[in-house]
Amino acid sequence: MSFDAEAKMQFLFALRSKGVTDKAVLNAMERVDRGRFIQGYFSERAYDDMPLPIACGQTISQPSVVGLMTQALKIGPRDKVLEVGTGSGYQAAILAQLARRVYTVDRHRRLVHAARAVFDELELTNITAFTADGSFGLPDQAPFDRIIVTAAAEDPPGPLLAQLKIGGIMVVPVGQSDAVQSLIRVTRTDNGYDYDEMRPVRFVPLVEGLGKD
């Protein structure tokens, strides 16, 4: 299946029906073909609103969740964004349409190499991808205007909170188990952090250390 006009229309309709209404986010998701980030058996499901398995036991999130998380970040064109959990690279490609600069990290070297290849093909020159333990963020590049975490932590990780600018926003799934997780938006203020609970979600867990691949 190709990302033709009809597929795009159905894809965008599904996003809107799930609450993705921000025009800039919808435009970004229209420009980035999710099919470029999915290989093999599941490629024919690329435009369905569902998570799909990728290499290293990870998943590519369902498009509506990508859209809602991106929308919650309220990214501006001058923003520097950190993504923890590169995965397929799809979320980073969406962020790259909206932000000045995107840094993305993943603990699996194989995923980072594959994502970099797609970024190069799509000429997304404002993304830098690293193999690293994302739970520690990227202290050398901090602070960040926005941080997005695409794996679930028991609590918003302290090192990531510390790397958020005053006025910055972080979106992170939080939960003790696979079954019960909530998407949280954290805003850093002069006095600390404000937390908004957004919706229930299911993500793979945020794991410390590098992957064995």
Catalytic residues: 61
- Dihedral of CA atoms 62, 138, 192, 156 in degrees, nearest 10, equals 40
Q: Is 8 helix (H, G, I), strand (E, B) or coil?
A: helix
Return all residues near 58 (Cβ < 8 A) that are at least 6 apart.
85, 87, 88, 108, 111, 204
Q: Which candidate, 86, 125, 126, places its Cα nearest to that of 102?
A: 126
| Cβ 66 vs Cβ 29: under 8 Å | yes
Please state the φ and ψ torsions of residue 205, each to the nearest 5 degrees. Answer: -70, 150
The dihedrals phi and psi of 179, each to the nearest 5 degrees, come to: -80, -35
The alpha carbon of residue 165 and the mean position of all alpha carbons in its chain are separated, in whole angstroms, by 19
The answer to whether 85 and 206 have CB atoms below 8 angstroms apart is yes
Longest alpha-carbon distance in the chain = 50
Rounded to a whole number of angstroms, the CA Rg of the chain reads 16
